Structure 1
């Protein structure tokens, strides 16, 4: 047993290793999925690998139960150990230690809630520290949180709840405190040094882990004093930086921890008019106010904008706000509250309509503009203001330029044109001078890592563009390259987007850009010819290659290191990882590849040791470990072992011809032990295109809006998911022309029961379902979630989640009409299901919630009333205070039950539940759910 150098709250445990046992079940014992199975279904929520590659940490979450963490030694075979309720795992820099938090048991918390116990009495987390060499574990209870440096993790600090330490504190005294206090423990991972500090309200490490700041609270004569202190973790020297201010915010170290800055105020947090100054300290030698708020003529120093040093420490960035305008009516004390007028005025001249303004009100109140303190010169430069637009620059680099994007001249059109232009300016980081480079760019310019170029994908040109910020030269980066750099599957009435890019190499020497399949390396100066990094292998074999970023600390592509790629065969959907030749002379080297989805690749910092996830529809996305060149790969986790006892199924990629003669893909999910000589009920679900998700694992889970495919397949359904191609102005007919021929192709296979086919979709899928059932009676039952039934009324509506007008959706994006209501009135009418409601004979279940922020819920009401008026069996589910897709798990479970009961009744002949037969009258609301089935 080993002692740790700390005084409060410690105990030691030995970790017992064990092997995860896999219990096999015979075929006869398998059963279909049930709704009660959702809660214990597992997923990997987090994975990490130690710097030396010897340990892997995996956090396994359950949907509605306590999860667990696993620490897995990479050198062992199948042995591992796990720790219940472990979360937020990290490894120390030297890979010897693991740290994390243990959550309280969910069952215990639930019982306390049932007993109406106050939340501040709930148990806190427990800090866990594991010595991976000695296999010893230490637990520290009552911890609020913990932190480590973002780099050089040799220290950790944790907060112990002040209430737990001083439970007898006077409540009145607590209420006087402006800041929540806790006791701070700071320790080195090796236990050689520790520090205990009482009454702390804020703290943070320097990036390199050599220093720490903290704010300590002192009460004296009924007054609260705050001391801001710096602690040198190497020398253990402590320095009080300030003891005269009442607020400290946005504290930050420079990259090398030699400089420190913060915002300070002499007013208390309760003062709504508190002002802040920018303070700066160098090498712990003292403090100076570099930007006094009273001297900043442009406005007020902003507490909402982060302070940050450039990587070399020569620049300190901060933000400022316009001075608050005073209004006499607002402050008029002669008016009673009930006499004050409250109204919204929508003005035709406004850049944004009133709902968007209200939605952004808090953001607008916090709107800040960038400025910089030039450390060597000792003066301040304003870089941004409302007139030049949004500023973009590289925090960490020291380039000479920033760029500003201003869409204000075109913003008024945004309600119907989401591809409005932007004026591009360059801004000097030394003087703040802004110069116009180009007007009305249709694209999204950003600045390259070293600050030499503004670059963007020009939608009108279908090309990537770079603009030299120093020489003001514009270069078409992809000009002359024989490849497709736009999304060639784009089928809406707007300019197509790009296939993306892989970033820039060091010093902005090369730009890496994605063609349809291959990756190109382009010299922006045009001196060197472009290089196809994948050597044309992508286009030749229909494999889409993309770069993987395995070093989050680098803001550029390091061509001196191995270039790892993901690759997916766009015909079979097989995928894997590859190694690229940085000269493009050889095809990518295959590392691992197969009939599965491979993703989440991570690399150990100090050697070529990797972890990744792999899944199929049948296999959960487990964690795998691989070494150099992936010569050996082994499975580290086996989640969802309970699936062995569940009837599952399989999926295949199918092809079918649509009405215009083109071939399309779809996914056909089949029950386990599928018999082609039997007739199966079939559910048809779709949105737009889904075939690329062939190998994606779909967890059984309560539904937020759509059918859960594993649940229906497990319960004896076929599920068909067709891809859809759209024609401008014909969204409804396009869906019909793809879905119905796809269903007919499945019928021709002979195993689909033509009398028992259902259809279901949500949102855009819900609209398409509503349209299709006006044209055919081939579906015995339909489910339409949040459907747009009437495009003429929806066109003028609001997406309340964003405050945007819905015009853009019909003119440019998903609804694909391609014009205004007055330009193309017949297209709006002909594509609207409500005008053909008298043709619908299909029993329909609608869900449309009264807090839907995407599709106004009156659309669901219009559709339901049309069906009701025409005596079509129909039900409208309205979950109160719920959004477009359900958020509350209780409501998701409820919807899942009602979806399965509805379709089971119509497609499998099961008895109807009481809610379908009797409804739930308002007088019974909240008293019964009526899931009970009516006996035959």
Structure 2
């Protein structure tokens, strides 16, 4: 039960839609009428309260129509009034879909989306809508400007010509798949217990080119070759696995090939076709090979943990829980290749080499075993990669003890080259001449560094290849390079290092420049003759976009003191559509045509300017060693230089990249920290960057945090006796350790934290089922040694060992189902504090994990943290629980 004195004041998330709609009606209709006499006058901005938080929503940018005239986006609210909007970028005409999700444009005049109950199509010109059952399959052919829908329950395929509004209907359709060129579909039909499969052209004819007519088996997993030259599919006449067949139909030759599991003499006797789709069907560009999955015929039934004893053996490659989740390779499907012309079958992967990917043109495979160098104690072991001859199945070594990071070994698009990163350089394997070449050794910059916050150093990345695989594109810390495949020449495409601006190819997602390749990835082709859009980030906190063209070089599109992202470039119409935000400016959508004036399409949370709000500032400070570092300082709303404020220091490694991120005020926070809520409650917030050297995780944390805090205190902005400290997870560890070394902080909050490095080293991260030892060698903790090699190192950096020195009152919290950081770490620290008579309170939330997910618990935690700091930093005596003992 939540104590009465921490119940939220405002309307809760669970309140009815009716009440919220009435509230917004009053807010936006009645209030302006009442306020009419004040128009033209300066209106005093209001103090933000808990009641106001529900007005804020999160903007989610979805997609843009081909001509840039329409944009779809969603607004998501804590009170669940979520809505999908579709807006015209020129005249701002808008449609909305309550609870709408998964929007996509069908050409420039129609939208397809889902709402709570239906799949819908919208005519953007007329506003007419069509609703379909939720399980309807819908595709759009840009080549024919047609929407194809399959009403699965009724088995009706409809093809709507958007130019003529004519509808073509085909009955008894079970499955269909649109071709890559979007000019035809493959369909499977069931009539009177007979099945047929054929190719239907999306032109004016209704003729179907039947591949198999009135067969006895169903056709499914309809798969196109990537250029639309062939299709593959499975067929089965009954539930007997031996009756399954794999088919390939060559559209150019109009020839059907069939592989029967029960009749093919060289089909493995202990295997069946993989019905689970572990390895989706794939056809090689030369149409000579079909890749498919083979599953063991008699998979052993996996016993439940409650049925038997768990046997953990120190000689096991993986610890028991990881083996149960990710191992047991003998039970899993394997990739195989079928040669339709000869009927030959070659199994590619196996229990010994379970991980597999293909090269770019699918002429060879690359296999490995993730357990090969286990047991070891990094997060993932390196492995040997082998090249498999797809005709004979023979293996040749490609590279030994190679990093398992997915982007550190990537086949090129053409298939001739395999790029891999090792020994701080990029290498190319040339399959044509079977040679390895270090291609970056002559370039005097580093192509590796700290890319992932939770990891060690790694390659900055390989975003792709130029046409014909002539050059590979590589990132260094700041720039993009084009390096010839044999390393004989190289050129820097950008000039970021001079001003410490980081340039990257503009993408909307982390994997946009990678192609899924079974258990790995492969690179993409990037034509440097085209106009490329680059995203830029400066060490000074500025962000923006540049264009890169072959003749004119780099040109700035936009760049400044804001966080710009979600850039869409509409080449044909020279339009740039993007999102902009700052800490004191909610995200908004903007359109810009070449050098024209920017036009705001949509401003989220437009009521923001009615409320007092803080600002953010990038600070620079030096630690005790003279290392220059950065951080974010958030100013209180309605800041006055005549007043000294309390301050909360929030710690967690590097945070300065979030300088311009807007933060919606909310109590629904999984970690209880919200900078906007705290700044509107008259707090400064400091988020310093912290850099760690190997073996000095605690020492460097204290040095950087204390140095940054004194830097702000010396500016005479804050009361030096009213500074609090807060962190979560690794940041929680940092809080725990800092207060054992200094009395600078008047109060602290530590969430889901670590207190004893020695015991934590020996725990299991149950969310990933891996040993927590992996965090310590070169990952986030950077200890460099085991506790058995240097026990004093672990003791020296463990807060629990130094608990006696603590004078700062601390609030601990954890979820009792936390599988990421064992919640007993918080209990251990609490027991040490209790035994030593220190001022501490612990909150344990049953059935909660590393961050709190239940709304009532999120509110409880957020309010308790606020009250904890108010009590110690503002002398607020309205609540007394921070110092009360539980009776």
Give TM class, smaller chain: 0.7 to 0.9
2:4 maps to what in 1? none
1:737 Cα offset (Å): 0.7
Question: Which deviations, in whole Å up to 9, do the C-alpha atoms of 1:783-809 show, x marking residues without a partner?
Answer: 111111111111110000111111121
**CA distance in structure 2 between the partners assigned to 1:876 and 1:248 by the alignment:** 60
Report the RMSD for the aligned CA atoms in angstroms. Answer: 3.5
Conserved 8 A contact 1:579-1:589: yes
**CA distance in structure 2 between the partners assigned to 1:191 and 1:901 by the alignment:** 65
Residue 575 (1) aligns with residue 549 (2): no
2:712 maps to what in 1? 746
Conserved 8 A contact 2:284-2:362: no
Paired residue secondary structure (2:585): coil
1:520 maps to what in 2? 481
Residue 565 (1) aligns with residue 534 (2): yes
Conserved 8 A contact 2:439-2:486: no
1:254 maps to what in 2? 225
**CA distance in structure 1 between the partners assigned to 2:453 and 2:148 by the alignment:** 53
2:414 maps to what in 1? 450
**CA distance in structure 2 between the partners assigned to 1:611 and 1:183 by the alignment:** 38
Conserved 8 A contact 1:781-1:907: yes
Against the structure 1 CA distance between its residues 126 and 370, is the aligned structure 2 distance closer, same or farther, given a 3 Å change threshold? closer
**CA distance in structure 2 between the partners assigned to 1:366 and 1:249 by the alignment:** 24
2:271 maps to what in 1? 299
2:16 maps to what in 1? none
Paired residue secondary structure (1:901): helix
Conserved 8 A contact 1:299-1:320: yes
1:393-404 maps to which residues of 2 (within 5 A)? 393-394=358-359, 397-398=360-361, 400-404=363-367
Paired residue secondary structure (1:899): helix
Against the structure 1 CA distance between its residues 800 and 623, is the aligned structure 2 distance closer, same or farther, given a 3 Å change threshold? same
1:636 maps to what in 2? 601
1:503 maps to what in 2? 464
1:432 Cα offset (Å): 3.6
Give the paired residue count: 830
Against the structure 1 CA distance between its residues 151 and 457, is the aligned structure 2 distance closer, same or farther, given a 3 Å change threshold? farther
Residue 651 (1) aligns with residue 616 (2): yes
Q: 1:60 aligned to 68, 71, 75, which one? A: 75
1:669 Cα offset (Å): 0.2
Against the structure 1 CA distance between its residues 591 and 326, is the aligned structure 2 distance closer, same or farther, given a 3 Å change threshold? closer
Question: Which deviations, in whole Å up to 9, do the C-alpha atoms of 1:135-189 show, x marking residues without a partner?
Answer: 3322426544442148647333446685xxxxxxxxxxxxxxxxxx776654333
Conserved 8 A contact 1:49-1:603: no
1:215 Cα offset (Å): 5.7
1:464 maps to what in 2? 426
Residue 237 (1) aligns with residue 207 (2): yes
Conserved 8 A contact 1:216-1:228: yes
1:707 Cα offset (Å): 0.8
Against the structure 1 CA distance between its residues 419 and 67, is the aligned structure 2 distance closer, same or farther, given a 3 Å change threshold? closer
1:900 Cα offset (Å): 1.8
Residue 91 (1) aligns with residue 105 (2): yes
Mean alpha-carbon deviation: is it higher for 825-834 or for 207-216? 207-216
State the TM-score, normalized to the length of structure 2: 0.85
**CA distance in structure 2 between the partners assigned to 1:421 and 1:462 by the alignment:** 15
Paired residue secondary structure (1:893): helix
Residue 412 (1) aligns with residue 381 (2): no
Q: 1:538 aligned to 471, 492, 496, which one? A: 496
Paired residue secondary structure (2:732): helix
Residue 591 (1) aligns with residue 557 (2): yes
Conserved 8 A contact 1:756-1:906: yes
**CA distance in structure 1 between the partners assigned to 2:873 and 2:804 by the alignment:** 23
1:607 Cα offset (Å): 4.1
Paired residue secondary structure (1:859): helix
Against the structure 1 CA distance between its residues 72 and 887, is the aligned structure 2 distance closer, same or farther, given a 3 Å change threshold? same
Against the structure 1 CA distance between its residues 258 and 544, is the aligned structure 2 distance closer, same or farther, given a 3 Å change threshold? closer
**CA distance in structure 1 between the partners assigned to 2:640 and 2:83 by the alignment:** 39
1:814 Cα offset (Å): 1.2
1:402 Cα offset (Å): 2.9
Paired residue secondary structure (1:868): helix
Q: 2:570 aligned to 574, 585, 604, which one? A: 604
Paired residue secondary structure (2:321): helix
Residue 129 (1) aligns with residue 129 (2): no
Q: 1:803 aligned to 753, 765, 769, which one? A: 769
Conserved 8 A contact 1:404-1:427: yes
**CA distance in structure 2 between the partners assigned to 1:894 and 1:315 by the alignment:** 59
Against the structure 1 CA distance between its residues 825 and 753, is the aligned structure 2 distance closer, same or farther, given a 3 Å change threshold? same
Residue 718 (1) aligns with residue 718 (2): no
Against the structure 1 CA distance between its residues 856 and 596, is the aligned structure 2 distance closer, same or farther, given a 3 Å change threshold? same
1:374 maps to what in 2? 339
Residue 619 (1) aligns with residue 585 (2): yes
**CA distance in structure 2 between the partners assigned to 1:869 and 1:199 by the alignment:** 75
Against the structure 1 CA distance between its residues 191 and 36, is the aligned structure 2 distance closer, same or farther, given a 3 Å change threshold? farther
Against the structure 1 CA distance between its residues 86 and 190, is the aligned structure 2 distance closer, same or farther, given a 3 Å change threshold? farther
State the TM-score, normalized to the length of structure 1: 0.81
Mean alpha-carbon deviation: is it higher for 788-797 or for 288-297? 288-297
**CA distance in structure 2 between the partners assigned to 1:566 and 1:480 by the alignment:** 27
1:352-363 maps to which residues of 2 (within 5 A)? 352-360=318-326
Against the structure 1 CA distance between its residues 43 and 201, is the aligned structure 2 distance closer, same or farther, given a 3 Å change threshold? farther
2:160 maps to what in 1? 187
Residue 903 (1) aligns with residue 869 (2): yes
Residue 858 (1) aligns with residue 858 (2): no
Against the structure 1 CA distance between its residues 326 and 790, is the aligned structure 2 distance closer, same or farther, given a 3 Å change threshold? closer
Against the structure 1 CA distance between its residues 785 and 227, is the aligned structure 2 distance closer, same or farther, given a 3 Å change threshold? farther
**CA distance in structure 2 between the partners assigned to 1:760 and 1:805 by the alignment:** 27
1:654-803 maps to which residues of 2 (within 5 A)? 654-701=619-666, 702-803=668-769
**CA distance in structure 1 between the partners assigned to 2:97 and 2:394 by the alignment:** 57
Against the structure 1 CA distance between its residues 721 and 258, is the aligned structure 2 distance closer, same or farther, given a 3 Å change threshold? same
**CA distance in structure 2 between the partners assigned to 1:893 and 1:241 by the alignment:** 61
1:25-40 maps to which residues of 2 (within 5 A)? 29-40=44-55
Paired residue secondary structure (1:250): strand
Paired residue secondary structure (1:560): coil
Conserved 8 A contact 2:261-2:272: no
**CA distance in structure 1 between the partners assigned to 2:418 and 2:616 by the alignment:** 45
Against the structure 1 CA distance between its residues 149 and 429, is the aligned structure 2 distance closer, same or farther, given a 3 Å change threshold? farther
Conserved 8 A contact 2:450-2:456: no
Mean alpha-carbon deviation: is it higher for 845-854 or for 868-877? 868-877
1:349 maps to what in 2? 315
1:260-275 maps to which residues of 2 (within 5 A)? 260-268=231-239
1:306 Cα offset (Å): 0.8
